[in-house]
Structures are given as C-alpha cells and as structure tokens.
C-alpha cells in the first residue's frame, strides 16, 4: 500500500504531549536485574500488569505505567541494550538523584540542555541501555538557591 505523505500536509495532526511508556524487550533471565535497577535504584514502583503471553513487569511513576519490561527475546551475549536505543524520562530531585546514583555505584554524566531549562543526567541500565533523566530546573531546589 503506498504511503500518502505526512498527515500535516493533509490538514491533520496527532497531538503528542509526552512519552506514555517505553517497553524494553529482554531475555527472561534479565528480568530480575532490570527490575532491581529500575525499581530499586531509580525508584519506579512495580504495579498492575495484565495477564500477557510473556513474563514481565510494569513499572509506575506518578500513577502511570511508564516502563514495561517484557521477556520477549532469547538470551544473546552479542545483544547490548535490549531493543530500544535509549529511554528519556521526566525526573525531579536532581541533588537526591546524584546521591542515589553515587550510592548505588551507577556511573553517570550530566549536562544542561543548551537553550532550555532542562538538566540531563545520562546513565546505563545493567544491560547497557542508555537512560536519560530530564530535570526541569524551574522545579528544582539546587544547593545555594533560595526555595521557591
């Protein structure tokens, strides 16, 4: 079936406002280490998951299932990072995040996103998947700054 071109050119649009969820496909054997990382280290909450054909976990932030871990792939030592390049998540509490990652001995780097009020922290999960945490500096209380 031929593509019709961008929907905006046809006077239509899709209103996307935020990431709904990210699914990480992994081997069954990798589920425990991923669950420990995303729930234990990053603080997401494991919650309701409907009965599906494959094992997995749904992890929640702010009452929303933002991360789905699904055992969809065979074990492969050559594979790095599951089946997505990276996930980008909204986050709050930059100072506490730095402390938590350091305490968990998780290597990370960070940078302000030029031209914005976002500060980004970059790290990797236990399988090598890149994780980007985005902090809105207008909502952060930084050391030395007056509380708003």
Q: Kindly report, residue by residue over 71-93, the tens digit of the pLDDT.
A: 887 766 555 555 676 888 988 88
Alpha-helical (H) ranges within the chain are 31-35, 94-103
Whether 107 is covered by a domain: the verdict is yes
Tell me if the pTM is above 0.85: no
Enclosing domain of residue 48: 20-139
Whether 62 is covered by a domain: the verdict is yes
For the domain that residue 123 is a member of, what is the CATH number?
3.10.180.10
Q: Structurally, how many domains does the chain consist of?
A: 1
Tens-digit pLDDT string for the chain (148 aa): 344 445 456 555 556 667 888 989 888 998 999 999 999 999 999 999 988 888 999 999 999 999 999 988 776 655 555 567 688 898 888 888 988 898 888 999 999 888 888 898 999 999 898 898 988 899 887 665 444 4
Whether 78 is covered by a domain: the verdict is yes
Contact 97, 41 (CB under 8 A): no
Which among 140, 135, 141, 80 has a CA at the least distance from the CA of 110? 135
Please state, in angstroms and rounded to a whole number, the distance separating the CA atoms of residues 136 and 59: 22
Whether 79 is covered by a domain: the verdict is yes
Whether 2 is covered by a domain: the verdict is no
């Amino acid at each position: 079936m031929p593509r019709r071109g961008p929907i905006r050119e046809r006077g239509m649009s899709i209103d996307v406002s935020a990431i709904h969820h990210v699914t990480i496909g992994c081997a069954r054997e990798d589920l425990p280490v991923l669950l420990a990382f995303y729930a234990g280290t990053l603080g997401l909450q494991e919650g309701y998951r409907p009965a599906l054909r494959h094992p997995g976990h749904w992890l929640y932030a702010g009452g929303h299932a933002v991360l789905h871990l699904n055992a969809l792939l065979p074990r492969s030592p050559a594979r790095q990072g599951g089946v997505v390049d990276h996930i980008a998540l909204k986050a709050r509490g930059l100072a506490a995040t730095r402390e938590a990652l350091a305490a968990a001995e998780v290597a990370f780097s960070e940078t302000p996103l030029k031209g914005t009020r976002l500060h980004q922290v970059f790290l990797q999960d236990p399988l090598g998947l890149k994780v980007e945490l985005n902090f809105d500096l207008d909502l952060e209380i930084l050391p030395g700054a007056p509380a708003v």
